Amino acid sequence: MSGAKNCPETTRQKMIGMMYLVLTAMLALNVSSEILNGFTMVDNSLHTTIESTEMRNKSLIESFEYQYKQNPAKVKEWLDKANNVKKLSDDLYDYIQNFKFQIIKIADGKNADPAARVIEARDNLDASEEYAKVKGNGKVLKQKMDVYRNAILQLLEGNPDKQKVYQKVFSTDRMNGTPWQDALFNMMPVSATVTLLSKYQSDIRSSESEMIQFLKSQTDADDYRVNKIEALVVPNSRYIIRGGQYSAQIVLSAVDSTKKPEYFVNGSAVSKGFYQVGCGKTGAFTYSGFIRMAGNDGNVKSYPFKSDYIVEEPSATISNEDLNVVYRGIDNKFSISVPGIAAEKVSVSVDGGSASKVGSGRYIIRPSRDGEIRISVIANIDGKNLPMGGGTYRVKYLPDPKSFMQYTDAGGVPRLTQDGTVSKRMLKSGVSIVANYGPDELIKANFTVTQFTLLTVFGPVPTSGSRLSAKQLNDIDRLEGGEFVIIKNIKAVGPDGKQRSLSPIQVQL
């Protein structure tokens, strides 16, 4: 796929930009004849660049139009956009050209050069501000620049890097804290203003060139590049269940839709390249053939191909996503599939539990009894429900979780701890006792703490639930720094209904 080429600044353009910056800085010190001559030299160089770019743009449009004649349906959309870019560029370019002339006209009167190249009153500091600010034309120019920039950004939607470039080139934001119009036109010699406006004109032509190149490249952005033609076999599946059928589509990797190839498999013609054969035996099978088609020169060419497929006994693949057992009370996640069979044609049943389909090949298994359950897999093949196998899984209760003290740190982030140090403020601000498998959990299950005992130097204080009671908080408030707080006799109940006794928690104030 071809892409739009960048248009980096040439050495000449970089030199012009450098000279303009230097001359602008010197302007603040003294508007001498040499400085004004420098602006004239930069302006002349900009015009040389503009003329060169305009020639390149003309050639690009002509090439674009030739492509359109060759393939109107493919090129029209992009040529229309390129012509719109050209029109927008011409309109803004011409407006800036007249803008320059009107400023020179104020400065030179009836001697003003219509081409805005020769300036008599180059050092006039009032003309630019009068036309742009007093007469309000600078505001109009800013609006036109914004419209042009936004049009370019819209065409480059999805290309943020390029958008940033044009956002900067045609920015009308404040410059060093100064409004854009003031920075360009307040107390600026006519020669400096004209040179700056010529720089914008050069940017417009360069942007026009790059956008046309970009749009031209989009005409074949979705095309595939090929350097040869070869035959391909596209089977529905190369893995066949005994009793099913093998089918494949035989195609050319590059095709001319105006020509109809002939297909042959094992010496026999195949209609439209569709090959199908019954599969009554297991094992590996191969077949070969060729595609015959006339080339552009009228000569008939043959393109050979060879492929294979496997026929196997019915089988199923079952994997438990959590562990190799199933647990009471939670959703046990399974991925269940049958090789060569679409997921929507596979069903699952459970002896001793239930199975719920939650996605393509994904199931939730929930046991309803202790001991073992049996998972069976069935596939619908050519309208018949065939058993694909299954497996037996042990049913177990969930492993005991760990106990944690949960609190909120100074930054408002929830934290878990089993030991270490905490402050009284943290303990009194909403501590709760929780039970889970911690950050290294292999399975997810929710446990509820039903009771615990707080042990301090003032003795044990039991409570129900998972939060500190008023009596417990009062004892904590009486403790000194460095003393220990122990949470013990922690009881928790999981989704399987089993009550557990958990390990104690010890923290130091």
Does residue 161 carry a pLDDT above 60?
Answer: yes
| pLDDT tier at 181, thresholds 50, 70, 90 | confident
Q: What pLDDT score does 224 carry?
A: 40
| pLDDT tier at 496, thresholds 50, 70, 90 | confident
Q: What pLDDT score does 426 carry?
A: 80
Q: How far apart are CA 473 and CA 459, in angstroms?
A: 13
> Which range has the worst mean pLDDT, 54-58, 317-321, 393-397?
317-321
The backbone torsions φ and ψ at residue 119, rounded to the nearest 5 degrees and listed phi first, read -130, 125
- Section 95-118 average pLDDT: 90
Q: Is 161 exposed, middle or buried (0-12, 13-18, 19+ CB in 10 A)?
A: exposed
- State the average pLDDT for the chain: 82
Identity of residue 20: Y
Query: What DSSP line would sit under 380-399, residue for residue?
Result: EETTEEEEEEEEEEEEEPPP
> Is there a common fold for 231-312 and 318-396?
yes
Does residue 104 carry a pLDDT above 50?
Answer: yes
Q: What pLDDT score does 384 carry?
A: 82
Does residue 449 carry a pLDDT above 90?
Answer: yes
Q: What pLDDT score does 351 carry?
A: 93
Where is pLDDT greater, at 8 or 242?
Answer: 242
Q: Nearest Cα to 456, choosing from 492, 378, 509, 390? A: 509
Q: 231-312: which CATH architecture?
A: Sandwich (2.60)
Does residue 222 carry a pLDDT above 70?
Answer: no
Which 3 state secondary structure label does DSSP give 107? Answer: helix
Write the Ramachandran bin of 110: left for phi over 0, alpha for psi from -120 to 50, otherwise beta: alpha
- Section 183-211 average pLDDT: 89
* Most confident segment among 16-30, 100-114, 298-312: 100-114
Query: What DSSP line would sit under 452-482, residue for residue?
Result: EEEEETTEEEEEESSB--HHHHHHHHTPPTT
- Section 296-320 average pLDDT: 71
Residue spans per domain, the chain:
11-220, 231-312, 318-396, 402-508
Q: How far apart are CA 283 and CA 308, in angstroms?
A: 11
Q: What pLDDT score does 29 carry?
A: 44
Does residue 177 carry a pLDDT above 90?
Answer: no
pLDDT in tens, 358-384: 988 899 999 989 899 999 999 887 778
Identity of residue 198: S
| pLDDT tier at 501, thresholds 50, 70, 90 | very high
Where is pLDDT greater, at 438 or 393?
Answer: 393
> Which range has the worst mean pLDDT, 68-77, 143-152, 234-243?
234-243
| pLDDT tier at 243, thresholds 50, 70, 90 | low
| pLDDT tier at 337, thresholds 50, 70, 90 | confident
Where is pLDDT greater, at 8 or 137?
Answer: 137
Does residue 28 carry a pLDDT above 50?
Answer: no
Q: Determine the distance from the C-alpha atom of residue 211 to the mean position of all C-alpha atoms in its chain, rounded to a whole number.
A: 23
Q: What is the CATH number of domain 318-396?
A: 2.60.40.10
> Which range has the worst mean pLDDT, 22-36, 84-98, 125-139, 416-430?
22-36
> Which range has the worst mean pLDDT, 99-108, 373-382, 410-419, 460-469?
410-419
Does residue 395 carry a pLDDT above 80?
Answer: yes
